[in-house]
Structure 1
Amino acid sequence: MAISFGVRKHIARWQQDGLIDDAVADRLRKDIDNRGSGFGLGGILALLGAVLLGAAIISLVAANWEAMPRLFRVGLIMAVLFIGYVGGAWRESRGDKVFSQALYLTAAITFGAGIALVGQMYHLSGEASDAALLWVAGTMVAALFLRAPVLVSASVAISGFYLFCSLEPANSERLSYLWLVPILAFICAGLVWYTKGKAARHLIALLSITYVFVVRFDLDRVGILWLAAIAGGALFLADALRNRALERLTGWAEAIGAYGFIMLLLALIFFQFDEFSEGVANQVVIGFAILGCSIAGLALSGHRNLAVRWSAYTVFSLEVLYLAFETIGTMIGTASFFLSAGILVLLLAAFVMRMERRLQRKSPKSEVTA
């Protein structure tokens, strides 16, 4: 893995500089070897190949669908499912952690395509969201029995597909997603715990954030933004102020704090551009609140939480430039604005560099953990 290679370079440098002795360096290298999952570039390419293979199977079957006998069509889908799930289980039993996941993913994609193709073949009526629900249910069952992390990630992705299918105006029960998506996310969270599928946790967090703002636009209620801001701020403060307790409870404290911080900032940004779009004064007020939250994020957990740190830097810089454009930029000429913007960017760079020095002094281990 590229990450392991980078860590090995740091270990060699620390050993050469005398920061660690030979025994510690050997133990660190041995720990990297023992913990290495082998899921590097090769694993990513294997999963990409599985997606492309699934798409090829779908395209091939769909292009020749009418020319095939019905029994052969169903048999072909079942054969691919059997090869994907049983073959993946066989490869995993042999210690293969890469191609087994690729076979599982191919079977999951084929299952979704099979639902659509069989429904077309037998002229079954129904909404796309109903097919997505059946797809995610089947994938969850497969993830449960096979204990496959990649199938948990696929279940979360299909849940997101269901969310957007439910937004179609023609859907007769379109608002059922309001309670079904949280249930799907909760089940996926249970599967994450059961399968130890750590990557799916990030997808669940992204699905949750997407769900909040989709509901905001769909129902057009400002209270949802307030709830999102409060929930995001609470999650961020839980990590910032009670990091050890949250880590013991969830084992994922820094990521929870980072996603909560991002949700808080996104809610404030939506307030700025949506709820208070009439008049510059309101936007400036919300802008200062965004700047304040960014600085608070840096002060409270920026010294140890890289995601919070760089989210705060990014939002702070963009917000300062936006406020400058909305206030100063409307009153001066183009050349003067570019001059002011250039000076402002240099000042932002000086601010970031100074903050980096302060944060690194506050946390001497930050360079090692980064």
Structure 2
Amino acid sequence: MSRKFLETESPAWVSEGLITEAQRQLLLARYPSEAVQAVGLLPLLGSILVGLSALSVVAANWQSLPEALRLGLLLGTLLAAYAGGEYFLRRGNRRVGHGLLGLGLVTFGASIILTSQLYQLVGYDVSGLLAWVVVGVLLSFLYDSQSLTLLPILIGAAVQTYCTQALGVFSYATMGLVVLGSGYRWWHRPDTLVASVLAAGLLWQVALWVALSHAKITWFFIPAMLVYAAGDWHPDPAASRALKGPPLVAAYLFALGLALFGETDQYAGLLRPPVLAYLGALAAVLALSVAGKRVRGRLATLPDWLLLLPGFYLPGRLPLAIATLVVLYAHAGSMLARAHRSADAEQLTLGTVLFIIATMVAYFKLTWAFLDKSLFFLIGGVLLLSLSWYLRRRNASRLAETVAAVTAPTAAATVSSNPETQP
């Protein structure tokens, strides 16, 4: 919630009797203005600029500096960043303190790389960079900071990229540290942004593994849906949705690609792993996901798995495209139905967008070859505008009914508690 929203909406809350003026002032005090927040950022931005200035000077003269001075600069910068972070934390300035600790973590990784270059160490293994990930995970446990929790996830993705692209190996230790370290930390201290970044970082590492091992592309979805299943087991609904977001986006884009290009059948060699092995692994992950949904009372989200139906085993050409379009329509329809039941405005909007996308794909795929181009665009435009109007009207009607149902008991209670309004 932002202060601007409070300043705009809270006077109406006071006039409706939902809160008092004193409570309104207390709420405003909890959310400082943007100007105050910007002033609080000035010390951090200033320290970053000073650090960048010093870094540019050192970088320009790095090769000409004596070896002892180089090591002293690296060690001094590292100690100064950590000491400065602790100093500001003890003074209650968490923003600057955590920023300096994050700067110290980045400096630690840079020191590993520069020291390796200084002594011309051959980087045939990733042990030095792995220590960087370990320190990042430890810092995320020591300090309650969102930024320090995000850093080891991003560092792990960067280290894994270096391993696969430069060394030609996949570091299972790096992925294990992110899963067991950052994942464990997030599980016990859930955060929606960390959940989304964690899921995206893990999917990036999985994609690197698929590319390095030259496996079928569809093997990507076994670990990806394991991340999704982990979200099913988490007790916090918001954190659960955030963790499941990136795997669902990947699955939807894959299904959309099948609908658009599935009839060409030229990608069959890239998409079809051994049937029994793949379906067995997918069924095991599905069972784990269903168990989590049942325990947490989220079986209504089971239609998400429609996107993982292995339609790529069907013959290519038009039948595969049509079958995938049916899946996209079923998924969008299930999301709309679920959103209408829960009166979730965001899900209603998302479901509407997905339904329109499926309609656009179906229209382009099925009618492009049969209509004159001008008539094709005219009919398509009218169809989409009509569909958008209809869905918006339904969403507005549904939300209006929900608001009326919620406000009616409040209004009745206000009338009953006011003797002057009673006959």
CA shift digits 1:331-369 (9 cap, x unpaired)? 33432232133213303421441342255256539999x
Q: How far, CA to CA, are the matches of 2:141 and 2:404 in structure 1?
A: 39
When the two chains are superposed, the root-mean-square deviation of aligned CA atoms in Å is 3.9
Structure 2 gaps of 5+ residues are 266-316, 408-423
Does structure 1 conserve the Cα–Cα contact (< 8 Å) formed by 2:157 and 2:201? yes
Shift, 1:123, TM fit: 0.3
Does structure 2 conserve the Cα–Cα contact (< 8 Å) formed by 1:156 and 1:204? yes
Matched letter for residue 220 of structure 1: A
SS in 2 for 1:166: helix
Q: How far, CA to CA, are the matches of 1:289 and 1:154 in structure 2?
A: 37
Q: 2:399 aligns with which of 353, 360, 366?
A: 360
Which residue in 1 is equivalent to 2:150? 153
| Larger displacement relative to structure 2 (139-148 or 152-161) | 139-148
Matched letter for residue 10 of structure 2: I
Which residue in 2 is equivalent to 1:294? 332
Q: Aligned pair in 2 of structure 1 residues 153, 330: CA closer, same or farther (>3 Å)?
A: same
Which residue in 2 is equivalent to 1:321? 360
Which residue in 2 is equivalent to 1:11? 10
Q: How far, CA to CA, are the matches of 2:100 and 2:323 in structure 1?
A: 53
Which residue in 2 is equivalent to 1:282? 320
1:137 equivalent in alignment to 2:137: no
Structure 1 gaps of 5+ residues are 239-245
SS in 2 for 1:66: coil
Which residue in 2 is equivalent to 1:30? 26
Instruction: Choose 1 or 2 for highest CA Rg.
Output: 2
Q: Aligned pair in 2 of structure 1 residues 253, 191: CA closer, same or farther (>3 Å)?
A: closer
Shift, 1:194, TM fit: 6.6
TM-score with structure 1 setting the length: 0.77
Q: How far, CA to CA, are the matches of 1:337 and 1:49 in structure 2?
A: 57
Q: Aligned pair in 2 of structure 1 residues 72, 222: CA closer, same or farther (>3 Å)?
A: closer
Does structure 2 conserve the Cα–Cα contact (< 8 Å) formed by 1:140 and 1:152? yes
Q: Aligned pair in 2 of structure 1 residues 292, 100: CA closer, same or farther (>3 Å)?
A: same
Q: 2:178 aligns with which of 177, 184, 201?
A: 184
Q: 1:90 aligns with which of 87, 90, 97?
A: 87
Does structure 1 conserve the Cα–Cα contact (< 8 Å) formed by 2:228 and 2:243? no
Matched letter for residue 269 of structure 1: L
Matched letter for residue 87 of structure 1: G
CA shift digits 1:280-330 (9 cap, x unpaired)? 331232122122112212222464556644443333333322332222223
Does structure 1 conserve the Cα–Cα contact (< 8 Å) formed by 2:234 and 2:240? yes
Does structure 1 conserve the Cα–Cα contact (< 8 Å) formed by 2:81 and 2:103? yes
Which residue in 2 is equivalent to 1:105? 102
SS in 1 for 2:63: coil
Q: Aligned pair in 2 of structure 1 residues 276, 112: CA closer, same or farther (>3 Å)?
A: farther
SS in 1 for 2:97: helix
| Larger displacement relative to structure 2 (325-334 or 41-50) | 41-50
Q: Aligned pair in 2 of structure 1 residues 255, 141: CA closer, same or farther (>3 Å)?
A: closer
Which residue in 2 is equivalent to 1:242? none
SS in 1 for 2:152: helix
Q: How far, CA to CA, are the matches of 2:227 and 2:7 in structure 1?
A: 37
Q: How far, CA to CA, are the matches of 1:212 and 1:141 in structure 2?
A: 23
Q: How far, CA to CA, are the matches of 2:357 and 2:45 in structure 1?
A: 34
Q: How far, CA to CA, are the matches of 1:260 and 1:320 in structure 2?
A: 23
Does structure 1 conserve the Cα–Cα contact (< 8 Å) formed by 2:329 and 2:355? yes
Matched letter for residue 287 of structure 1: L
Q: How far, CA to CA, are the matches of 2:344 and 2:230 in structure 1?
A: 14
Matches within 5 A, 1:52-67: 58-67=55-64
| Larger displacement relative to structure 2 (58-67 or 83-92) | 58-67
Q: Aligned pair in 2 of structure 1 residues 52, 359: CA closer, same or farther (>3 Å)?
A: farther
Shift, 1:87, TM fit: 0.6
Q: How far, CA to CA, are the matches of 2:53 and 2:404 in structure 1?
A: 48
Tell me the matched-pair count: 353
